[in-house]
Structure 1
């Protein structure tokens, strides 16, 4: 994506199903779990570079000994920093106690991060302070083992204000307005209630206080706790948690907005935000990795029983299509095919834009996440050329000249890498004019390929959000090659609406498609629609969220998609540019053809999968109208 945006976080959980001695004997290390956790997190580094954290739980620890270990770090090297810290602890123990360090039970009794349940999190901050306190996992601590809660997740709730009020009504006093706090405290509240109910029952059954703790851990109804906790949540979420005695869970929202994959065998249960990282870390085939079903929680009891239980009635599945277009790693087999299909489906539009003039067109991509879509476009163009050659040769087989035959057979699409991002260049200069000049050099270009004023450049990007990088950098760089025309192609449809489920696209004014629609309304004497939408949004503030509509759709209704695309081309074209500029976008229909199992398209269509989404988009429009450069929801991710 030429306009880099932050997005949802990543999780990794490992539940060891054998004693630590088993892994020592089979794999030659008692640190099997922590080593695998490192792999799962490093392979998901794309999902969060603001910070990271890990936590582990040890089973059956004697009172007075630590059984929860946690460490968090900030910055793009947080994962490496965390595991370097852990490995230094292990190295120090190995040096000081060479004999004991070979004994898994001794390590568990004496060394942190040697537990049976391990949880990791990678953070991309979409709201609030980027501080160590914002990094997951979070702890809710108590002297009763079964009341401790470790929590980490990939989630945004749209109704934090409502959830906070519910906590107030329960008599709690949360320390901040953030969805992480509300989720932690909501689960914690019903965990406490479940503990109390089980305690009272055990007392009635004649158990001693010492015996009761074990009885609570054995009988804790995880599904019941999660069902009661999530009853009023509105958002997209994959949330992982561990209770202090060892029960663990991963829950996925009813619409399946956020991803969650798992693998289970007799040795381990593994959960991660992306499928290929599990395949890579554990060397297992594609078919062995499953998805957690929307509205279900994968629950691992301390005794090793693993079930998948429904905590909310599943809704129509609207899994995030942006996962497929951009965010998830392209090494996933299905995602790779889908991204290729996105590029291939754009070929009819691309060929029309260049008037089917293959000889005078150079096809390229804007690094680096659009590369797979580019391969799909290449495939589509090559298929067109073969069809064209076949049709012409069949039609004129009896009268074609040698020269015409040579010309026809020599048609060869020109696929080139024109832009290379200079990762070492940092635009640290603060003066606007100087910084603008530096921005234009973030990408290097390949000279000597495009013929002056003859060739058209077609450059595919996976998506276009703000268009600022195109305007400030890429178009200027491509124009230096002196093409007669530049066609920018987005493998995603026009991004028209904010996200509120984890992706950092929450301000209306950031979308070049919105800017184009507003511009067209003003040009064509339809500016009254802007005020009408504002008044409807304002009137909806006191409505129940189930009755609220997405009133912002009216901003786009007067225009065809092509009209908005043409206005986007005008907006992003710098005044000094010599080449003609055209912008093409994927259609919604083709998006759904390419990604049939990920129909969450609210950023393009405005059709939000939860009622809270409509409230957020209306609030975002009101913020734009009122000049407030803030998000339309609370979050701590």
Structure 2
């Protein structure tokens, strides 16, 4: 749903010693960082609030040069203005760099919170910049500990600053640890999910993935060019061969130092906890994550929906004028909708068009919610009028968009019936690992599901009926939890499914959930995100 957001995405590029790579820009190895905006465009789905890069080039006064701006990648890098874009990329030219796109799950929508974060220092080994994707579940504890020592001060309300200080502590004084040693020591103090792309003023680079593998990272190296990104599609579109692109294993880091690239383990990885939402919603459909195609996973989810469908469609298959049609909520639901329709033998049609140029709109007034939905989605009356519509959605989190969407499908589209099918189980618990849903009170499903098992039984069916009535749908069905592992093709124990089970893969995540439950049950529930309340309720 458009109401659900990921935190961010990272990218990195490094032209290693050797002849110019065929994939490198025509300007040569010293301007390899021109590739970063292209990579960020391919992971723009992970964040639209801001975009930025830090580049490294030996010999210039500003060894690390950071540029970041609010807005989309195209807006930030002036990609619609050839002259301005060229001037910017010439200024930022370098042999290596890291990039970032951001959506805020913590912190404000201000330039100060845009990444990469840069920490300047007189000594080159202590001067670094990095991009961070994820969320630290023990943010409050780390922040309080930092503030309790010496005369420390934390400027921003974001765990990215905390991570920056934790890295800085490891290289303070006369210590000269390698980057993988820095990551090894920092990892022992943090709880949560993260991927990091870091570069320092000595030209050393680190790309790391958390020990559980919650956040995805892909990388590739061909000839002299190394690149890494949150999603494989960013590498594929640079021209790397499919065979050269691989997922970074959880708990491992790629380091580049002295022109040599290594892949090393920095933390033990006793279990996996890949975020299942990457396959269902967040990731670009052209990406492959940990060996599983995002598209094929979504296709399998649609097949699961078809297998569980209870509507009688035996009389609906009329090639000339079908009574029943499947309509995806664009864009992430299309793969599931098409697969479901194919298995049921009914048409999958685009009865709902998305305005891909609406962007982040700011609308005020009593009808602001309805106006926002109208700005993004247009029902096609010629397709929907008089039809029984099976509306396929990837998830329902807060339900605000779905309510207005159903209203528009009836009022503008003229749909006779609307049966909502969700290619995901009900979201019943917050996420503390980088998805923008931090309290139980903001979620749609929990009030309806007390005493339900989540396996599609009779209690679930009764709850789904109440939810359908609340939303204004003729019926509503979710996938059971067991369908997720089957569709993704990974063992159930390899996935983080905390938001649909309430079972968290880290200690601090589970503790935050207990706080969230206390908040939800309080007579006067606190406002704000759960991790912000942790310090006062712990």
Q: Report the CA distance between 1:266 and its aligned residue.
A: 3.0
Structure with a larger share of its residues in helix: 1
* Structure 2 residue corresponding to 1:187, chosen from 153, 159, 167: 167
Alignment match, 2:406 = 474
Q: Report the CA distance between 1:79 and its aligned residue.
A: 5.4
Mapping 1:373-522, distance limit 5 Å:
373-382=336-345, 413-422=346-355, 430-432=364-366, 434-435=367-368, 438=371, 441-442=374-375, 443-449=377-383, 452=386, 455-478=387-410, 483-517=415-449
* Structure 2 residue corresponding to 1:275, chosen from 213, 219, 232: 232
1:310 corresponds to 2:265: yes
Conserved? CA contact 1:496–1:511, under 8 Å = yes
1:161 corresponds to 2:140: yes
1:589 corresponds to 2:523: no
Mapping 1:511-550, distance limit 5 Å:
511-517=443-449
Alignment match, 2:249 = 293
- CA distance in 1: counterparts of 2:248 and 2:88, whole angstroms: 39
1:627 corresponds to 2:525: yes
Conserved? CA contact 1:71–1:82, under 8 Å = no
Alignment match, 2:195 = 238
CA displacement, residues 318-371 of structure 1 (integer Å, 9 cap, x when unaligned) = 111111111111012511111111011110222x12364433322221222211
- CA distance in 1: counterparts of 2:129 and 2:527, whole angstroms: 34
Conserved? CA contact 1:343–1:491, under 8 Å = yes
Conserved? CA contact 2:64–2:200, under 8 Å = no
Q: Which piece of structure 1 moves more, 473-482 or 326-335?
A: 473-482
- CA distance in 2: counterparts of 1:511 and 1:349, whole angstroms: 25
* Structure 2 residue corresponding to 1:139, chosen from 115, 118, 121: 118
Conserved? CA contact 1:299–1:308, under 8 Å = yes
How many residues are matched? 515
Conserved? CA contact 2:410–2:416, under 8 Å = no
Mapping 1:37-436, distance limit 5 Å:
37-59=36-58, 61=59, 65-77=61-73, 80-81=76-77, 88=84, 91=87, 112-168=91-147, 171=150, 173-176=152-155, 177-193=157-173, 196-198=174-176, 220-281=177-238, 283-301=239-257, 303-332=258-287, 334-350=293-309, 352-354=310-312, 356-359=314-317, 360-382=323-345, 413-422=346-355, 430-432=364-366, 434-435=367-368
Q: Report the CA distance between 1:90 and its aligned residue.
A: 5.6
Conserved? CA contact 1:364–1:460, under 8 Å = yes
Alignment match, 1:409 = none
Q: Secondary structure at the match of 2:429?
A: coil
- CA distance in 2: counterparts of 1:427 and 1:114, whole angstroms: 33
Normalised to the residue count of structure 2, the TM-score between the two structures is 0.87
Q: Which piece of structure 1 moves more, 230-239 or 439-448?
A: 439-448
Conserved? CA contact 1:49–1:78, under 8 Å = no
- CA distance in 1: counterparts of 2:38 and 2:250, whole angstroms: 26
Q: Secondary structure at the match of 1:633?
A: helix
- CA distance in 2: counterparts of 1:159 and 1:25, whole angstroms: 41
Residues 300/416 of structure 1: CA separation in 2 closer, same or farther (3 Å cut): same
CA displacement, residues 168-200 of structure 1 (integer Å, 9 cap, x when unaligned) = 46536132343112111111111124xx145xx
Alignment match, 1:610 = 506
Conserved? CA contact 1:121–1:137, under 8 Å = yes
Larger Rg: 1
Residues 91/72 of structure 1: CA separation in 2 closer, same or farther (3 Å cut): closer
Conserved? CA contact 2:44–2:73, under 8 Å = no
Q: Secondary structure at the match of 2:449?
A: helix
RMSD in angstroms over aligned alpha carbons? 3.1
- CA distance in 2: counterparts of 1:557 and 1:46, whole angstroms: 32
Q: Which piece of structure 1 moves more, 456-465 or 23-32?
A: 23-32
Higher relative contact order (CA 8 A, sep 6+): 1
Q: Report the CA distance between 1:620 and its aligned residue.
A: 2.3
CA displacement, residues 110-152 of structure 1 (integer Å, 9 cap, x when unaligned) = x742322211110111122211110111111111111112121
- CA distance in 2: counterparts of 1:496 and 1:45, whole angstroms: 27
Conserved? CA contact 1:465–1:511, under 8 Å = yes
Residues 149/569 of structure 1: CA separation in 2 closer, same or farther (3 Å cut): same
- CA distance in 2: counterparts of 1:424 and 1:279, whole angstroms: 25
Q: Secondary structure at the match of 1:489?
A: strand
Q: Report the CA distance between 1:627 and its aligned residue.
A: 2.6
Residues 267/621 of structure 1: CA separation in 2 closer, same or farther (3 Å cut): same
Conserved? CA contact 1:427–1:438, under 8 Å = no
Normalised to the residue count of structure 1, the TM-score between the two structures is 0.74
Alignment match, 1:568 = 467
- CA distance in 2: counterparts of 1:356 and 1:464, whole angstroms: 28
Conserved? CA contact 1:497–1:606, under 8 Å = yes
Conserved? CA contact 1:420–1:445, under 8 Å = yes
Alignment match, 2:27 = 29
- CA distance in 1: counterparts of 2:172 and 2:434, whole angstroms: 29
Q: Secondary structure at the match of 1:486?
A: strand
Conserved? CA contact 1:486–1:582, under 8 Å = yes
Structure with a larger share of its residues in strand: 2
Which ranges of structure 1 fall in alignment gaps of 5 or more residues? 94-110, 199-219, 383-412, 522-552, 574-579
Which ranges of structure 2 fall in alignment gaps of 5 or more residues? 318-322, 534-538
- CA distance in 2: counterparts of 1:26 and 1:628, whole angstroms: 52
